[in-house]
Amino acid sequence: MDATKVIIDAVDRFRQRRAAPLVLELDLTEGLTDGPPADPLNAILSLRKARLADVLSGLKRAGKDPRVKALIVKIGSQRLGLGMVQELRQAVTRLRASGKLTVAFAETFGEFGAGTVPYYLAGAFERVYLQPSGDVGLTGVSLEQRFLRGALGKLGVEYQIGQRHEYKTAANTFTQDHMTEAHRESMSRITESITEQVVAGIAEGRGLDPAAVRALIDRGPFIGAEAVEAGLVDRMAYRDEVYDEVKRAAGDDALLLYVGRYAKGPIARKLPHPGEQTVALVHGSGPIRLGRSGRSPLGGGGAMGSDTVCAALRAARRDERVKAVVFRVDSPGGSYAASDAIWREVVLTRRAGKPIVVSMGDVAASGGYMVSMAADAIVAQPGTLTGSIGVFGGKAVIGGLLEKLGVSSEAVGEGANAGMFSSTNAFSEAQWARVNAWLDRVYDDFVNKVAEGRGLSRERAHELAKGRVWTGADAQEGGLVDRLGGLEDALALARQKAGLPADAPVRGYPRLNPLERLRPADSSEDKAAALARVRLEAWGPLAPLAAELGLPFHGPLMLPGTWTVR
């Protein structure tokens, strides 16, 4: 009897959901995930998070769905990258233009802290509500750089690092005690460009003059009542008051439904029929490394493995149903060899006659730009950080630190440069010459491929390179990016280039069933080879810092010393 009642209730809820007005919800307090889970651990960690692609497709569909009356988004303190915020702003603006009510609610936009980016997101909504105890931390854009040279010098640590060229400032943290002229110029332009975007977005969304918005930024942060008076917030209200007001506007019988659930509903998305032509969506997120993608169980984030991404691109290229590829890149770079391997697969995909469009996320710089530059088109958000076409390399010399600690070391070896990469001693003059030869080779290769992929002269590519980081808006002006927009724009462009209908289905790639995920790959050509893995990095969340300090990747819980003959 109870089972029958459960089934009847479920059917009634399904019928009601198909007919009743809908108020869509999006809770950003836990953030969003950009791509699908790369490995089993990531799948568990992201169970409660909505996927950006689902949210974007759901909001796109909601604009044409007469059942959807409103959207409520709770904006929390979880940091979202500027590129992702602009993706959401674009989707909300389009939904708002379709006549749907869009509402942003927050307990606070920065609790006694900066809240410029969260408020910038809220500014795209028709109505902005703030809890009575909340504030609006609209304080502007600031980039801060710390320099460790002085502290490291006191410890007896010296960094020997070369860079190509003056704007490649990643190592300045360790080699300088202040901003160089090029460093300051680059960071100043980034903050200026982002501020221009924030001011324009808030002015348009709130119906304010841009000059007035700049004046408000200089006055911030704001207590809640001050924000209402300044026109930044419509009114102060608690969650229950906001929801009651929206439900009254949508209809008493309106149902609440998360955007992610709406996007995955039984009639939500167009699924490909057998043999139907599709667009493949391949994700590449995190620092770029050789091997397979994955993350450490001890934290530290995920990585884009060249083997994984290359296998995914090969599988999409060989699939006759796939007529175009969108490569979603969100990466600060990493290994040159790994980036070059992925670049080659992008080139081969393009040569195979399948249009490939890159969609850049929050950042696609250095190696993240190298894997993107050969695509048919690059789409980036105005606030995406990209470029950084350059290279640096060297090592930390900790001999002085070891001496202070009373640690002595000796080495034996055969070959004049056998101990070249030891962190105990500095490079000799001949060894330093080899480092510079390597830097020159990598930089020249990078710039030449930029010129080839982007249709630029070598001289123009070099001017845009020099290691300089650009915002997406400035990169488009320089020819490093084709269009400004988000993932949905990249998918539309890929369909257009392939001659597919505007509603051609999109498939995450590679698409593996549970059995294929369990079995070992037959070869490197097998799509199962694109699976990510869990990587053991004993440094956990300190892995990036350990790498920058020249510490062994395997961490402190390991047999001391290096016992590999190279």
Q: What is the mean pLDDT of residues 156-176?
A: 85
What does the pLDDT look like over 56-105, one tens digit per residue? 999 999 999 999 999 999 998 778 899 999 999 999 999 999 999 999 99
Q: What is the mean pLDDT of residues 345-349?
A: 98
What pLDDT score was predicted for residue 480? Answer: 98
- In the chain, which residues fall in CATH 3.90.226.10? 15-139+220-263, 278-406+421-517+524-548
Q: In 455-566, where does DSSP find H-type helix?
A: 458-464, 472-478, 487-498, 514-518, 543-548
Q: Of 124-128, 366-370, 409-413, which gets the smallest average pLDDT?
A: 409-413
> 246: Cβ–Cβ under 8 A, 6 or more apart, which residues?
23, 70, 72, 101, 103
What number is the average pLDDT over the span 350-368?
Answer: 96
Burial of 9 (0-12, 13-18, 19+ CB in 10 A): exposed
Mean pLDDT, rounded, of the chain: 85
pLDDT at 16: 58
In the predicted structure, residue 174 carries a pLDDT above the cut 60:
yes
Indicate if the pLDDT at residue 501 is higher than 90: yes
The CATH number of the domain covering residues in 278-406+421-517+524-548: 3.90.226.10
- Is the CATH code 3.90.226.10 the one for domain 15-139+220-263? yes
pLDDT in tens, 18-34: 678 999 999 998 888 88
**What mean pLDDT do residues 241-248 have?**
95
Q: Which two tokens stand for residue 27?
A: 């809770």
pTM above 0.85, yes or no: yes
Q: How far is CA 337 from CA 333, 342, 409, 447, in A?
A: 11, 9, 32, 15
Quote the CA–CA distance of 128 and 468 in Å, as a whole number.
37
Q: What is the pLDDT of residues 540-556, one digit of tens each?
A: 445 555 554 544 443 33
Question: Is pLDDT of 362 > 60?
Answer: yes
Closest to 230 (Cα-Cα) out of 216, 244, 243: 216
Distance (Å, rounded) from C-alpha 259 to C-alpha 58? 6
Q: Which residue has the higher pLDDT, 121 or 80?
A: 121
Looking at the predicted structure, is the pLDDT value of residue 534 above 90?
no
Could you give the percent of the chain with pLDDT greater than 70?
Answer: 82
pLDDT of the residue at 516: 54
Q: Tell me: the pLDDT tens digits for 504-520?
A: 999 988 665 555 555 56
Residue 293 clears pLDDT 90, i.e. is over it: no
| pLDDT at res. 553 | 44
Lowest mean pLDDT, pick from 246-255, 453-462, 487-496: 246-255
